[in-house]
């Protein structure tokens, strides 16, 4: 059930992010025109309504919802800001949102690897912004992927693995075969974060905002959703084989 929710979450997030990207690309193309405010409002309404409809069914934590919506809208927000008021507002708001996402689990005494990873990302974004604010905006996806890669890698050295920890929320009595499987899935996700981060870095080096937004605002999220879906199908098949044995 938990895995099914993850697949649903990834699929919906990918769809919403793709919609946000399409609207954001439109904004990028006509942002110099007098229609900018109308398009910005349309983007906010479309993404907001879509996420609210989904959240009624899943009902995640408010801070998680806010962080998810911000992540979905980040490429759009970044492009709008660069085209209008510059990169500094993006850096300030990005750091504030990341700090908010880390403060909540800290207050609940859940200061885990992912929380530390976000703190490192905040320091990275702020440090780079001190020299080049626009570059820090572009590098954010790279830093996030690097933080995720390292966080997942650490759990392989110091078990339980990251995916095992996630799985035990719904399956506390995970069998040894499940532990071995979740370790393999953790490695797969590390490969995804490494590849995703390298491609994100290429979009930074390419220097084109269009290329950056196409990949980081749509393709990467859809790819993550596809990986969720494939892993879910493989997991169901493996469970079916175990049941027949």
Query: pTM of the full predicted structure?
Result: 0.76
Q: What is the mean pLDDT of residues 41-66?
A: 49
Helix, strand or coil, per DSSP, at residue 212: helix
When pLDDT is cut at 50, 70 and 90, the band that residue 37 belongs to is very low
For residue 169, which phi and psi values (nearest 5 degrees)?
-65, -35
Residue pointed to by tokens 């050295």: 157
pLDDT tens per residue, range 77-115: 898 888 889 999 999 999 999 988 887 655 454 447 788
Check pLDDT > 70 for residue 51: no
List Cβ neighbours of 194 (8 Å cut-off, separation of 6 or more): 145, 149
| Domain around 58 | 2-244
Overall number of domains in the chain: 1
The DSSP code for 35 is T
For residue 48, what pLDDT is reported? 43
Tell me how far apart the alpha carbons of residues 39 and 130 are, in angstroms, rounded to a whole number: 32
């Amino acid at each position: 059930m938990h895995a099914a929710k993850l697949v649903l979450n990834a699929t919906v997030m990918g769809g919403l992010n793709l919609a946000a990207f399409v609207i954001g690309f439109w904004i990028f193309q006509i942002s110099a025109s007098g229609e900018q405010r109308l398009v910005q409002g349309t983007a906010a309404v479309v993404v907001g309504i879509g996420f609210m409809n989904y959240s009624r069914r899943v009902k995640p934590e408010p801070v998680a919802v806010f962080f998810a919506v911000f992540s979905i809208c980040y490429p759009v927000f970044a492009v709008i800001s660069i085209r209008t008021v510059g990169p500094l507002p993006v850096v300030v708001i990005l750091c504030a949102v990341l700090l908010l996402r880390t403060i909540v689990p800290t207050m609940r005494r859940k200061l885990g690897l992912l929380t530390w990873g976000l703190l490192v990302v905040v320091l990275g974004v702020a440090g780079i912004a001190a020299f080049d604010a626009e570059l820090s905006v572009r590098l954010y996806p790279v830093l996030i992927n690097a933080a995720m890669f390292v966080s997942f890698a650490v759990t392989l050295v110091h078990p339980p693995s990251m995916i095992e920890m996630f799985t035990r929320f719904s399956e506390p009595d995970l069998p040894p075969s499940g532990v071995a499987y979740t370790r393999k899935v953790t490695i797969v996700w590390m490969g995804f974060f490494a590849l995703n981060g390298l491609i994100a870095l290429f979009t930074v080096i390419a220097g084109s905002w269009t290329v950056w937004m196409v990949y980081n605002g749509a393709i990467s999220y859809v790819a993550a959703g596809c990986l969720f879906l494939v892993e879910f199908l493989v997991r169901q098949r493996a469970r079916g084989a175990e049941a027949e044995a």
